[in-house]
Structure 1
């Protein structure tokens, strides 16, 4: 499962629907997400890809503290 937090909304999408595989590099994952949402790849520049021990991916904005 891929959990995406994009523009204030949360989405849970199966990997096969996005064409994402766990071993893909972060940039490739972000590119597939951008294609899914039909937005430019640059919109996901400040996003991070968290890889959970379960194999799930979480794509979210980078956390900024302070």
Structure 2
């Protein structure tokens, strides 16, 4: 499962829906997510990929503390 948090929205998609495989690097995953969201890849520049122990991925904005 890939959980995406983008501009106040949250959505869950399967890896197959967006063509993501577990061994892909973060840049490739962001490209697939951007294509799925129909936005430019640069819109995800400040996003991070959290890889959960379950194998799920979370694509979310980078957290800023302080």
CA apart distance, 1:11: 0.4
Structure 1 residues without counterparts, runs of 5 or longer: none
Task: Indicate the RMSD between aligned Cα atoms, in angstroms.
Answer: 0.4
Residue in 1 aligned with 2:25? Answer: 25
Mapped to 1, the partners of 2:45 and 2:13 lie a distance apart of 20
TM-score w.r.t. structure 1 length? 0.98
Mapped to 1, the partners of 2:34 and 2:14 lie a distance apart of 15
CA apart distance, 1:22: 1.2
TM-score w.r.t. structure 2 length? 0.98
Runs of 4 or more consecutive aligned structure 1 residues displaced over 3 Å after TM superposition? none
Structure 2 residues without counterparts, runs of 5 or longer: none
Question: Aligned pair count?
Answer: 66
**Is 2:61 aligned against 1:54?**
no
